[in-house]
Copies of this chain bind each other. A is one copy, B any other.
Amino acid sequence: MNFTLRILGTASAMPVTGKYQSAHVLDVHGRSFLIDCGEAVQQQMLRYRIPIMKVDSIFLSHIHGDHLFGLFPLLSTMGMLSRSVPLNIYAPNNFGPVLKFFLSYYGAGLNFEIRFTPLTMKEPEVILSTKSVEVLSFPLNHGLDTYGFLFREKEPQFNVRKDAISEYCLTLKEIGTLKRGEDVIREDGSMVKASEAAYKPYSPRSYAYVSDTAPFPELSSWVKGVDLLYHEATYVQEFADKAAARHHSTTLQAAAVAKEAGVGQLVVGHYSSRCKDISLFEKECKSIFPASHAASDGDLFDLPMKDFQGRK
């Protein structure tokens, strides 16, 4: 029942020796979601032993090359590996012609369906709902169609306490009732209360990916309370003018979102090649939001199961 984020690249558009461009892999209960596809994402997946064939869905924030150019090599490899399972791609509308062109030239080797869902929402919307996770997408402010993504684990079923099973001699049918969070009412009128015999094993975990964006008012409410927030911080504060001119964020702007949203932990990346000292990114973020981390390529965030916080 893992909830694990691997950051595959922390560079921005200008290539830097040994740093790769934006790509994250979120693994939820063994299901892999790939978020953005900077160049050589497949090399990074090999390096960190992430099975290429396990990718279930791909989420592209926007079509800038540093978030996209690794996609086509990856799709070609999936074709060579004889993938047959459909692949979901969620991306802005303007990705459509890019995909169409790729398929017209390189699609012959792909024997799997690509299900492209164009993103057009003006505020957060659920775009995918599986047994274990719900994914929302929301618009960002980057000068062209750009979207962020929020992955939220679904609330688990109730578990039934072992001691309650023996204490009340629960039948399988009664256990099923308790697992749905319902009280058991027996023929003799006695009752086994779900609130006593059952419990939620954990609280849902959540991760938000805020790709390239300048600040905008709604953002912190859209990522409110997530356990882990990735927010781009292309520049340290010294280059705030460049951030504004290029629809990007600074360290302090990213940290302000984290603070206002009350997230568990902030991770920043997408560093400009101008800013060589990554520790400065972390220092500046921490001045506003102490639980900040400036990511390096390959960083792993394994979110532990949380005790359930709501109604038991």
Which residues of B lie under 8 Å from residue A63 when comparing CB positions?
Answer: 105
A76 touches which of B42, B65, B77, B101 (Cβ 8 Å): B65
Q: What's the least CB distance linking A93 to chain B, in Å? A: 13
A:16-55 near B, CB below 8 Å: 16-18, 20, 39-40, 42-43, 46-47
- Given known contacts A101-B101, A105-B63, A73 and B17 CB-to-CB distance under 8 angstroms: no
CA A106 to CA B97, docked complex, whole Å: 13
- Check A112 for interface membership: any CB of B closer than 8 A: no
A16 touches which of B46, B72, B80 (Cβ 8 Å): B46
For the complex, would chain A's binding face be called helix, strand, loop or mixed by DSSP majority? helix
CA A63 to CA B104, docked complex, whole Å: 13
Can you name 17 extra interface pairs (CB under 8 A) apart from A15-B73, A97-B105?
Answer: A13-B76, A13-B80, A15-B43, A15-B46, A16-B46, A17-B43, A17-B47, A20-B43, A39-B39, A39-B40, A39-B70, A39-B73, A65-B106, A66-B73, A66-B76, A69-B69, A69-B76
Which residues of A are at the interface with B, using a C-beta cutoff of 8 A?
13-18, 20, 39-40, 42-43, 46-47, 63, 65-66, 69-70, 72-73, 76-77, 80, 97-98, 101, 105-106
What are 22 A-B contacts defined by CB distance under 8 Å? A13-B76, A14-B77, A14-B80, A15-B42, A15-B43, A15-B46, A15-B73, A16-B46, A17-B46, A17-B47, A20-B43, A39-B39, A39-B40, A40-B40, A65-B72, A65-B73, A65-B76, A65-B106, A66-B76, A69-B72, A69-B73, A98-B105
